Amino acid sequence: SSVLILNGPNLNLLGTRELGVYGAQTLADVEALCHRSAAALGLEAECRQSNHEGHLVDWIQEAGAEQRAGRLIGVVLNAGAYSHTSIALHDAIKGARTRVVEVHISNVHAREAFRHHSYISPVAAGIVVGFGVEGYPLAIQGLRRLAEAGEP
């Protein structure tokens, strides 16, 4: 089975954007890391990025259906700034009953107050925050554990 890695707005700028906060690795590097760490667990990683909220909503809905068909264990979601604004993403995760692990590269709680609240967190199965890009492999591991235990 597979795992879907979704990156939201501005994460296509990784490696050039606020290097002190997000590090020097590019999105391509992060996606390669996801492919490697998924493969090590016998999983296939599919990686997508969009700056558009609606694309992320569509993909989360599709993922819910794929999960119920037994082809997908869930989604690793870094929704970027939409984490702090998007009721639509919250509703999509809830409505499609998609297993989601929320990832933030930076420790959002050590940053501006507007980053302390996430609409994703209450509907996420788990959250990985502040481990840099290593958060993605950690989230994949966490997803697999939950899936194997049959937990939502």
Question: Cβ of residue 122: shortest distance to ligand DQA, in angstroms?
Answer: 16
Phi, psi of 126 (to 5 degrees): -165, 170
Of 31-90, binders to ligand DQA (CB under 6 A) are 78, 80-81, 83
Alpha-carbon gap, residue 133 to 137, rounded angstroms: 8
Binding mask 5-34 for ligand DQA (x = CB under 6 A): -----x------------------------
Active site residue 35: no
Q: Is 115 in the site for ligand DQA (CB under 6 A)?
A: yes
Judged by beta carbon, residue 22 or residue 37, the one nearer ligand DQA is 22
Is residue 116 part of the annotated active site? The answer reads no
Name the pairing type of β-strands 2-7 and 100-104.
Answer: unpaired
Closer Cβ to ligand DQA, 27 or 146, answer by number: 27
Q: How far apart are CB 10 and ligand DQA at their closest, in Å?
A: 5
* Amino acid at the residue 34: C
Q: Is the dihedral of CA 29, 31, 33, 36 positive or negative?
A: negative
Name the minimum Å distance from CB 136 to ligand DQA.
10
CB atoms within 10 A of CB 71: 12
How many residues interact with ligand DQA (rule CB under 6 A)? 10
* Token reading at 145: 């554990």
What is the distance between the alpha carbons of residues 16 and 86, in angstroms, rounded to a whole number?
A: 25
| Residue 73 tokens, joined | 């264990």
Which residues contribute to the site for ligand DQA (CB under 6 A)? Answer: 10, 78, 80-81, 83, 104-106, 108, 115
Q: Mind telling me the catalytic residues?
A: 22, 104
